Amino acid sequence: MPHLCIEKVPNTVVEADEPKGGRLLDTCDDHGAPIPFSCRSGSCGTCRVEIIEGEALLDPPEEEERQILEMFGDPPGRRLACLIQVREGPGRVRLRVVDEE
């Protein structure tokens, strides 16, 4: 898994390296990342994030995830953090929490 950089405006940043790869949700739990989770299963939209960098290092969204993002009117480049699977390999993924306030 690449190096992960998870940001929340204005200034919270959590960085992590995960050598085993896998679910972003697990990385967030392990490192106290500032992404708010509720259902943790891709149905509520609470954990929406914007992919700033490294989208090619993530498995693409399934149809169910695309439908939730469409329901919220999110532009391309946003994902549900609880469903993101990060691929193994070098590189950097940078995410920012979607703040609607």
Please give the residue ranges that form the binding site for ligand FES (CB under 6 A): 37-40, 42-47, 80, 82
Rank residues 46 and 52 by Cβ distance to ligand FES and give the closer one.
46
Nearest to 85, CA basis, from 96, 93, 73: 93
Return the SS3 of 70: helix
Query: Please, which residues bridge with residue 48 across strands?
Result: 80
Nearest distance from residue 61's CB to ligand FES, in Å? 12
Nearest distance from residue 90's CB to ligand FES, in Å? 27
Rank residues 57 and 82 by Cβ distance to ligand FES and give the closer one.
82
Rank residues 37 and 55 by Cβ distance to ligand FES and give the closer one.
37
Alpha helix segments (H runs only) across 32-73: 63-71
Q: 70-86 b/e with 16+ CB inside 10 Å = b?
A: eeeebeeebbbbbbbeb
Nearest distance from residue 66's CB to ligand FES, in Å? 13
